[in-house]
Structure 1
Amino acid sequence: MPGPGSGDALERAVERYLQHLAVERGLAANTLAAYRRDLRRYTEHLQEHTDPPVTTLRGIGTGHVQDFLRTVSAGAEGRAPLSTRSAARCLVAVRGAHRFWALEGLTRTDPAAPVQPPTPGMRLPKAVPVEQVTALLESTGTETPQQLRDRALLEILYSTGARISEATALDVDDLSRALRRTGQPEEDGGAMPFVRLFGKGGKERMVPLGSWAVRAVDDWLVRGRPALAAKGRGTPALFLNARGGRISRQTAWTTVRTAAERAGLGDRITPHTLRHSFATHLLEGGADLRVVQELLGHASVSTTQVYTLVTVESLREVYAAAHPRAL
């Protein structure tokens, strides 16, 4: 086992890389936390499960990186094996760190460059039919401030395709002015209201808000939010918790799960299901792929293209069930 402080050099190198990701690349806090977990697992492997222990960057070779990938995939060191997708994500963090250390001159070579991540099988996004989304949205009452908040949150998630972290980060000022005033789009000449979302890397995008979501948000702003805001110290957050502070991601997750159970949809609905359904339903309705890419905040259209496979699968199912000579 390495002695006390023997891994300080590795820890400092990791912190330097994480600082680069935060400051230079502007990664979100959740993404940084994932990178930190993966790199901590990597440095622990180097220091505690190699012979001899590796405690400096220059002591790392390609074999060490390959052994780490095999270890996380097989579930050694007393941990459960990672899925192919999770192992690939873990290696991406390691490769990125080594590339940075080499560019910064902390190492002469990049030992992780030759190691390729495992290729996960294609996993199609899980969308649900419009009827089930409608049941989910209508399962929440509108009597109490919390119910008004939950209804508005659910409508926002489906109307905009927002990630759960984007929705909980919304401020009142991220709503278009017409919606902030009365919730009525007619005040801006009939223009559809929009919300401003901040995606990965702090990238900003404007997403229109449908009439059902507009009404839900208006009800929340007028009849719900003031009651909860009075319990807090003042916050710009759009969605508030029972103490008047910003709602957490965990509370938002619970809101979706609870609504799904009330609607009889079981536990298979998550906030991301609403995002997937948003994209799938737009494409099924004839929306252009590039438009959906912009609405989702995807950096590459190839990420959005997976939704076209979902719609093709739906067409196949309908054809197989309806055509008299399909089977």
Structure 2
Amino acid sequence: MDWRSAKKGFQSYLRLEKSLSDNSIQAYGRDVDKLTQFAEAKFAPLKPDTITLTDLRDFIVEIGDVVPTSQARIISGIKAFFKYLLLEDIIQTDPAELLEAPKTRRKLPDVLTIEDINNLIAAIDLSKPEGPRNKAMLEVIYSCGLRVSELIGLKISNLYLDIDFIKVTGKGNKERLVPIGNEAKKALDIWLNQVRVHVEVKKGEEDYVFLNRRGAHLTREMMFIIIKQLAALIGLKKNISPHTFRHSFASHLIEGGADLRAVQEMLGHESITTTEIYTHLDREYLRSTIIEFHPRS
């Protein structure tokens, strides 16, 4: 089998059977593209069904100058590709089964303090047309711990504000109900009922909560720009992104004594081990508190 056909089938498998997002599918595609370039550059070009573990190890040596986290991600993509080939009986044995990824140190995410969040929200100019929208977005992403894709994809039909919940479509199109706090509800109410009603909405975009000035739903890039501009405005030196609000939501809950399973449910994590990183954050918070306030530290 040639690489082009194998990759096309792999993409269909990821989309239809694994229900992955376009971004995830593209990331897997880039990983397999790197392997394809390596395989086709050989004196005797390798095919997906002739490549061996030794060939894959040579490939890893060739990409050895990338950082361990990137290398681990590429290997993960390659492993998924060969698992697909095995499932489809294109190969009889999986050459990537014994391929080892480099050990990576799990980096604790940057977290905003409650004061940071308050300052960022206070810096929003509510006199501008986009001000109430931006405030509602920051309040919602922090109140509900959303991914940026979940925020910009939020639909009016999925708001259940009378019972303090919103329905979110997360990774793999999995839906979950997330509680929403009073400040976020107030900001949403102002945006929806006082500002958004005056926006000329593009056809097909009527159900999206957050719109740009042209009446279409916002992009991920726009959300990044809004947050970076606010950080610059208040002189915040931390390297933040929309995901920082999600990290802050989780760590503040854990610091406050929230149950790990409840936080896992609200974040939409498939595995609790993903959520457990926030217990490490909590330990770091405790350690720094002791160092700062203990009389013998």
TM-score when normalising by structure 1: 0.87
Q: Distance in 1 between matches of 2:35 and 2:19?
A: 23
Q: Distance in 2 between matches of 1:138 and 1:130?
A: 12
- Matched with 2:31 is 38
Deviations 1:245-278 (A, max 9, x none): 1111111111111121122213611111111000
Displacement of 1:234 in angstroms is 4.8
Q: Distance in 2 between matches of 1:69 and 1:175?
A: 47
Structure 2 counterpart SS, 1:216: helix
Which amino acid in the other structure matches residue 301 of structure 1? I
Which amino acid in the other structure matches residue 92 of structure 1? S
- Matched with 1:137 is 121
Which amino acid in the other structure matches residue 202 of structure 2? G
Residue of structure 2 aligned with 1:274, choices 237, 242, 245: 245
Structure 2 counterpart SS, 1:145: coil
User: Could you tell me whether the CA contact under 8 Å between 1:38 and 1:90 is conserved in 2?
Assistant: yes
- Matched with 1:106 is 90
Structure 2 counterpart SS, 1:237: coil
- Matched with 2:10 is 17
**Cα distance change of structure 1 residues 318 and 267 upon mapping to structure 2, 3 Å threshold:** closer
Residue 225 of structure 2 is aligned to residue 232 of structure 1: no
Structure 1 counterpart SS, 2:63: helix
User: Could you tell me whether the CA contact under 8 Å between 1:145 and 1:223 is conserved in 2?
Assistant: no
Q: Distance in 2 between matches of 1:196 and 1:106?
A: 40
Q: Distance in 1 between matches of 2:4 and 2:283?
A: 48
Structure 1 counterpart SS, 2:166: strand
Q: Distance in 2 between matches of 1:72 and 1:168?
A: 35
Deviations 1:49-93 (A, max 9, x none): x33222x2222111121122222232xxxxxx2x21111111111
Q: Distance in 2 between matches of 1:277 and 1:136?
A: 13
Residue of structure 2 aligned with 1:26, choices 19, 40, 44: 19
User: Could you tell me whether the CA contact under 8 Å between 1:28 and 1:200 is conserved in 2?
Assistant: yes
Residue 153 of structure 2 is aligned to residue 169 of structure 1: yes
Displacement of 1:227 in angstroms is 2.6
Structure 1 counterpart SS, 2:254: helix
Identity of aligned residues (%): 35
User: Could you tell me whether the CA contact under 8 Å between 2:152 and 2:219 is conserved in 1?
Assistant: yes
Q: Which runs of 5+ in 1 are unaligned?
A: 1-7, 75-80, 180-187
Residue of structure 2 aligned with 1:116, choices 100, 105, 110: 100
Q: 1:145-156 alignment to 2 at 5 Å? A: 145-156=129-140
User: Could you tell me whether the CA contact under 8 Å between 2:110 and 2:239 is conserved in 1?
Assistant: no
Which amino acid in the other structure matches residue 271 of structure 1? P
RMSD (Å), alpha carbons:
1.4
- Matched with 1:265 is 236
- Matched with 1:185 is none
User: Could you tell me whether the CA contact under 8 Å between 1:145 and 1:227 is conserved in 2?
Assistant: no
- Matched with 1:242 is 213
Between Structure 1 and Structure 2, how many residues are aligned? Answer: 296
- Matched with 2:44 is 52
User: Could you tell me whether the CA contact under 8 Å between 1:168 and 1:249 is conserved in 2?
Assistant: yes
TM-score when normalising by structure 2: 0.95
Q: Distance in 2 between matches of 1:46 and 1:19?
A: 22
Q: 4+ runs of 1 displaced by more than 6 Å? A: none
Deviations 1:210-250 (A, max 9, x none): 1111111111101221233x152351111111210111111
Residue of structure 2 aligned with 1:211, choices 175, 182, 185: 182
Which amino acid in the other structure matches residue 137 of structure 1? I
- Matched with 2:80 is 96
User: Could you tell me whether the CA contact under 8 Å between 1:257 and 1:267 is conserved in 2?
Assistant: no
User: Could you tell me whether the CA contact under 8 Å between 1:234 and 1:244 is conserved in 2?
Assistant: no
Q: Which runs of 5+ in 2 are unaligned?
A: none
